[in-house]
Structure 1
């Protein structure tokens, strides 16, 4: 293969779009609308497309349930305590974690360090499950 032909075959990734499974798509739509204030920007049979800023994610009809044992998507907020308080008011239950080196207090954990490119010294984070068992994180970078 010549050098010129290899450049034509290179993989070019343009962006990533998370996909979250839902056993009940209508129940998931209500959760994202009522709890997070998000409405789909587009729909197709078996799928809902959401947009937050420049990021998109899809909730799709699935025959399998999410294990909900790891963070599947994270949302950034400017004021984590206010966001947690508001979501609790809307019926969202936050996870409490108490393990070596990692502990939440009132649903919020202080996490040391962050990715250098984010320019933050750490972050505060909280986790909750959506109506379909997907584990979502919410974080606030600490500058």
Structure 2
């Protein structure tokens, strides 16, 4: 049996400094100072981590790259909008947003695009 001990999402950035500013200014996140030897910047959120690293391939994925969970989607979206985050609107088979939010099963989810064109979701489980 495999003995995995952790999982870490990885997000590409074409400009690491610009990406760090986005995650600080728009999402209020600070890099984890204990994880400074990773070849990028690591953020810790709710006991989980993600690595932001510089590459020329940033923004090429057309899928959700990261989901941030919250207990209060409406309040989180209000705060994020106040920080300049714009939420995407989708209208396709199986997915339609209203005011940026789609209901998917027992979750409500909204999507935004970060400074590096990565698609990020914010989700609330009911």
Same fold (TM over 0.5): yes
**Unmatched runs of 5 consecutive residues or more in structure 1:** 1-9, 113-121
1:41 equivalent to 2:25? Answer: no
Structure with max Cα Rg: 1
> What TM-score results when the alignment is normalised by the length of structure 2?
0.92
3-state DSSP of counterpart to 1:18: strand
- Which stretch of the first structure deviates more once superposed, 77-86 or 25-34? 77-86
The equivalent of 2:20 in structure 1 is: 29
Q: Deviations over 1:65-106 (max 9, x none)?
A: 222411111010111111111111111111100112211000
Which residue, 45, 57, 73 being the options, matches 1:80?
Answer: 73
CA distance in 1, matches of 2:87, 2:62: 14
Indicate conservation of the 8 Å contact 1:80/1:124, yes or no: yes
1:59 and 2:52 matched:
yes
Matched pairs, number = 124
Q: CA RMSD in A?
A: 1.4
Consecutive unaligned residues in structure 2, runs of 5 or more: none
- Normalised to the residue count of structure 1, the TM-score between the two structures is 0.81
Q: Distance in 2 between matches of 1:93 and 1:137?
A: 12
SS at 1:105's partner residue? coil
